[in-house]
Chains A and B, each alone.
Chain A
Amino acid sequence: MIVIAILVLPLLAAGLCAIPTIGRRVAAQITMATFIILFALSIRVALRVIALGTYVAAPGWIEVDAFGALILLLVTAVGVMACLYSLGYMARTTHDKSLLFHYYANLNLFIFSMLAVPVVVVPSITWLAVEFTTLLSVLLVGFENSREALEAAWKYAILTLMGAAIALFGFLVLFWAMRQAGSDDYTWAGLVSVSSHMSPVLMRMAFLSILVGFGAKVGFVPLHTWLPDAHSQAPTPVCALLSGVETTAVLYVILRLMPIAHNSLGASAERWALVFGLLSVGVAAFLLLQVHDYKRLFAYSTVEHMGIIMTAVGLGGAAAHYGAMYQILSHALTKSLCFFAAGSVLMITGTRNIASVKGLMRASPLAGSALLLGGLAIAGAPPFAVFLGEFSILRAGINQGHYFAIGLLAVFLSVAFFGILLHVNRMVLGRTDPTVELTPRIPWTCSLTLFVAAVPVIIFGLYVPNTLHQLLIRAAAIIGG
């Protein structure tokens, strides 16, 4: 019942937001209330999953296990913060206030599509949910209606829809492979149970099609080109959702496929994951060095982190899988903080150019310290959560003797570390540039979001609550097969 409510609520809220005059006027409040309820419901689902295992809402169609519950929690948590941030940010940056209800209605629909991905257990419907995450966010990316935003929205739509079409072929071949193996149970769990009987020829085709097709949406190199555009041009709260959880929700589908591919193909499944992962980390780390736009900086860092998680999965083994889950958690929370901080800098300075922003700490201690905190945390400095995640992945790799891959990963991580901190330091420290006109006050909901978003980033590096730890361990066991 709760899971059904999680799916129905945002649709209802989207409808309410669109009702002329009454609904439109309070669209922001409706959305805020809905997101808070969704977050509370997700916590209940997660607790039930920890206590009882899988939560079944509609057998064979809608079920939530530990991995699904983790994604639900992250989507709704980042959703609450993004909505809180939107209240102030959108009111300030949108010229025509009467159009704001479009934004909130669309935001509800976007959240709905991301919540559908982890709860549906029929792979073709999961594919559909991923397709809808694109369709229902394209207009949000182009919401500011500038040349750049529309161009970014177009590239985003075309490249990810192309990827989805390739992935669709993969899912159809997967269905065929399942029928060949004599099974009729087209669910994720059903696929895992027959995966060792599946024809490797078919499985390879299905796996690679889905890896490449959805990889385009996750942002794996070389199909990442749309990502920095879309993740930098969208309104800031949407960037936080896109970078923090949308990429993660799609990666979830690829990770679900890993045990199935592993049982049929053996170690070559992990090798593909390792290749895509390391390539993405490496290319993104070097691209980070040459950016001029701080929102693009964080967008490239998303490509890097998706690569890190994929590398961890490619290393294989329980320890690396746990590292991957921990990294999913810490990346989603830290990256949204980074984007909230970046959006505040944009409101204060009015420019996205790194070179034009100086001495932020003096101009606005709040935005400056949030950006510094987010930058340090996402770059992987101790004692933050991302550091712990990266460290556990490196250690797991060394214990398994993947010295070459770990060597490469360590080099790329150091490059990315210096790249991010180089840019962030330039912006935060030093004297303010007198030629740049500043508006140091940011809306109070944005300041509040910065505080709220900073809490988990600081805490999870030092202490992970036991229930969350249990959830991560079970989720890691699921991608282990």
Chain B
Amino acid sequence: MPHVAQPESIVVQLNALAGGLFLLSAFGMVATRQVQGCMRFFILQSVFLASSAVLLGLELRSWHLIAVGVINLVNKAILIPWLFKKTVSEEVYTKREISQVLNIPISLLVALGLTVGAYYLASPMLKVGAGLPALANLPIGLATLLLGAYTLTVRREAVPQLLGILSMENGAFFASLAIAPELHLFIELVIAFDLLVAVFVIAVLTRAIQRRIGTTEVGSLAALKEESVR
């Protein structure tokens, strides 16, 4: 590694702050009931992801990372929410979710457990990576990945389930700032495009489900079981 940051560097400390807020917005997605609130937390999370990339770009004097930050900001904080509003109807968007599989206090406890688990999983890797400037990003990214998976299993509404997946990808990217900052920019760009396609396809599917079945509470769909065959 050519640039090894000093621990007291203000930029690295700011990056740690962005990391904390990034993780906090993943908790926000677990705790909020409003579909729109969930979306706001996702946008916040993406903004913190972008700021971490830009901060590290400044620290390492890497235009590459700054570009990654800008790509993420434009894609996840502007394009994806806009595409959502365009394709999913107002009714789905302003919904309030009444029934989660687990209630919110229990959910938050589980989320806390998952975060501790993520640090435990990451600790052997932290030893390997000792000396990397943004190492704190690795456990935070892993924790967000797990929290996203959790969000998507306990949510019953279509949009929060998709946001759970997007949050998982955010987690993977947040970790990548620490472990793979030199990843080809072309790859970052096509992955950004891939997320747009994913949002579009899922939104089209959500609309079809709403029209055909009359609900977007996908968690309660249960026509397909071994017993029920036409």
Contacts of A147 in B (CB 8 A): 212-213, 221, 223
A323 to chain B, nearest CB (A): 32
Q: Is B161 an interface residue (CB 8 A)?
A: yes
Partner of B149, one of A135, A154, A166, A180: A166
Q: Known: A148-B223, A169-B175, A292-B227. Is A157-B180 also a contact (CB below 8 A)? A: no
Q: Is A290 an interface residue (CB 8 A)?
A: yes
Q: Which stretch in A43-51, A121-129, A328-336 binds the other chain?
A: A121-129
Partner of B204, one of A122, A139, A152, A166: A139
In the bound assembly, the distance between CA atoms of A173 and B182 in angstroms comes to 13
Partner of A157, one of B145, B172, B205: B205
Q: Is B128 an interface residue (CB 8 A)?
A: yes
Contacts of B212 in A (CB 8 A): 145-147, 150
Contacts of A142 in B (CB 8 A): 205, 208
Number of interface residues of B (CB under 8 A): 51
Residue contact B176 to A172, C-beta cutoff 8 Å = yes
Residue contact A201 to B125, C-beta cutoff 8 Å = yes
Q: Known: A122-B187, A139-B205. Is A154-B218 also a contact (CB below 8 A)? A: yes
B147 to chain A, nearest CB (A): 12
Residue contact A175 to B179, C-beta cutoff 8 Å = yes
In the bound assembly, the distance between CA atoms of A158 and B218 in angstroms comes to 10
Q: Is A442 an interface residue (CB 8 A)?
A: no
Partner of A352, one of B141, B161, B176, B229: B229
In the bound assembly, the distance between CA atoms of A148 and B127 in angstroms comes to 49
Q: A interface, by DSSP: helix, strand, loop or mixed?
A: helix
A229's nearest neighbour on chain B, judged by CB, is B224
Contact count A vs B, C-beta below 8 Å: 135
Contacts of A229 in B (CB 8 A): 224
Residue contact A158 to B125, C-beta cutoff 8 Å = no
In the bound assembly, the distance between CA atoms of A143 and B139 in angstroms comes to 41
Q: Is A318 an interface residue (CB 8 A)?
A: no
Q: Which stretch in B11-19, B30-38, B163-171 binds the other chain?
A: B163-171
Q: Mark B206-229, 1 if CB is under 8 A from A, else 0.
A: 001100110000100111101101
Contacts of A166 in B (CB 8 A): 145, 149, 168
B124's nearest neighbour on chain A, judged by CB, is A201
In the bound assembly, the distance between CA atoms of A296 and B227 in angstroms comes to 12
B4 to chain A, nearest CB (A): 15
B107 to chain A, nearest CB (A): 18
Contacts of A185 in B (CB 8 A): none
Q: Which stretch in B41-49, B51-59, B76-84, B195-203 binds the other chain?
A: B195-203
Q: Mark A42-65, 1 if CB is under 8 A from B, else 0.
A: 000000000000000000000000
B3 to chain A, nearest CB (A): 14
Contacts of A135 in B (CB 8 A): 194, 197-198, 201
Q: Is B191 an interface residue (CB 8 A)?
A: yes
Q: Is B106 an interface residue (CB 8 A)?
A: no
A204 to chain B, nearest CB (A): 9
Contacts of A445 in B (CB 8 A): none
B70 to chain A, nearest CB (A): 20
Partner of A158, one of B128, B165, B169, B182: B165
Q: Is A162 an interface residue (CB 8 A)?
A: yes
Q: Is A420 an interface residue (CB 8 A)?
A: no
Residue contact A165 to B182, C-beta cutoff 8 Å = no
Partner of B226, one of A152, A157, A290: A290
Q: Is B69 an interface residue (CB 8 A)?
A: no
Contacts of B202 in A (CB 8 A): 138, 157
What are 21 sample pairs from A and B whose C-beta atoms fall under 8 A apart?
A122-B187, A132-B194, A135-B201, A145-B208, A145-B212, A146-B212, A147-B223, A148-B224, A151-B221, A151-B222, A153-B205, A154-B158, A154-B205, A154-B209, A162-B152, A162-B164, A165-B149, A165-B171, A172-B180, A292-B226, A292-B229
Closest 5 CB pairs of A and B: A165-B168, A176-B179, A169-B172, A151-B221, A175-B180
| Given A201-B124, A205-B121; 13 other pairs, CB 8 A cutoff | A152-B224, A154-B158, A158-B152, A162-B152, A165-B145, A165-B171, A166-B145, A168-B172, A169-B172, A169-B175, A175-B183, A290-B226, A296-B226
